[in-house]
């Protein structure tokens, strides 16, 4: 079977783009144009990727099948112990770059995509990253090592076990999904760790707890949450004399 034949066959079962990415990964080529240029080449032992195609057809996210996802133009290892990095989270990177802080703490670092990206984009900043999950921290450490990022990692329940130095900008993409939200694609979410997705109180319990813990001497707070939750978070923060503002899309932002 040729590359072209395999692609048109497989595209009957899964999205063509997914089929292309599985094949590129198998052939160890980065460029999609390779598949076009080599459409007539014989594909030896394509059965080796049948299992990956079947997993995708079952609904498993491609990132877990391939073991990585791109974030802010870089590749991050993922396992089922971490959330798959989302494009909406990339907004945080642009906001933090425009602030240019000296110290950053990424709370709930997961794959480490935020902390590692900021370490590379802002090489003079001191970066701490924390997560309650040791499995997630292992993935984040692997990503930091892979990208040569210098980050201090900490196992901590929010800020209970690790407190940042004064003047640290705190960033948190914490779990904010309410288990009752029917409009979400639960088939995909079923593959991701519950610890990374769900929170009590309509998805807001961890964000509220972080606001409770926000140190008076921090340099600011950037949160990700669903836009439908923003007003409730803004109101809660007001009760703590914090003026959070709606930023872009999913992001809430407070700068001192
Ligand atoms: C939504 S994921 C975000 C992962 C990553 N920062 C990203 O943007 O892709 C939330 C992360 O928070 C972690 N987490 C959940 N509860 C936590 C807690 N109480 N303290 C610290 N981290 C927590 C989870 O393990 C998970 O890695």
Model confidence pTM above 0.85: yes
- pLDDT category at 186 given cuts 50, 70, 90 is confident
Residue nearest to ligand 1 atom 26, measured at CA: 196
Give the chain's domains with CATH numbers.
3-58 (no CATH), 82-255 (3.40.50.150)
Residue nearest to ligand 1 atom 13, measured at CA: 108
Give the dihedral of Cα atoms 237, 242, 247, 249; nearest 10 deg: -10
State residue 256's pLDDT score. Answer: 63
Q: Rounded to an integer, what distance in angstroms lies between the CA atom of residue 82 and that of residue 255?
A: 28
Pocket of ligand 1 (CB under 6 A): 82-83, 85, 89, 107-111, 113-114, 130-133, 136, 157-158, 173-175, 195-196, 206
Buried b (16+ CB within 10 A) or exposed e, 38-66: eeeeebeebeebeebbebbeeebbbbbbb
State residue 253's pLDDT score. Answer: 80
Q: Rounded to an integer, what distance in angstroms lies between the CA atom of residue 157 and that of residue 140?
A: 16
- pLDDT category at 77 given cuts 50, 70, 90 is very high
Query: Considering the chain, what percentage of its residues have pLDDT values greater than 70?
Result: 99
């Amino acid at each position: 079977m040729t590359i072209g034949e395999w692609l048109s066959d497989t595209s009957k079962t899964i999205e063509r783009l997914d089929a292309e990415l599985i094949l590129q990964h198998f052939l160890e080529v980065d460029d999609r144009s390779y598949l076009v240029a080599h459409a007539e080449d014989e594909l030896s032992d394509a059965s080796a990727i049948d299992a990956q195609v079947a997993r995708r057809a079952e609904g498993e996210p491609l990132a877990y099948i391939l073991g990585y996802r791109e974030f802010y133009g870089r590749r991050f290892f993922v396992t089922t112990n971490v959330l798959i990095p989302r494009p909406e989270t990339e907004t945080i990177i642009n906001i933090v770059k425009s602030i240019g802080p000296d110290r950053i703490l990424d709370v709930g670092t997961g794959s480490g995509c935020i902390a590692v990206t900021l370490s590379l984009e802002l090489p003079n900043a001191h970066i701490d990253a924390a997560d309650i999950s040791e499995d997630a921290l292992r993935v984040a450490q692997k990503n930091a090592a892979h990208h040569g990022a210098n980050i201090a990692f900490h196992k901590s329940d929010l800020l209970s076990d690790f407190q940042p130095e004064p003047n640290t900008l705190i960033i948190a993409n914490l779990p904010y999904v309410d288990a009752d939200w029917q409009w979400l694609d639960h088939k995909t979410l079923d593959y991701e760790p519950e610890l990374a997705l769900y929170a009590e109180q309509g998805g807001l319990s961890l964000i509220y707890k972080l606001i409770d813990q926000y140190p008076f001497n921090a340099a600011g707070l950037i949160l990700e949450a669903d836009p439908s939750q923003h007003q409730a978070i803004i109101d809660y923060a007001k009760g703590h004399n914090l003026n959070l503002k709606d930023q872009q899309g999913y992001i809430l932002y407070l700068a001192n």
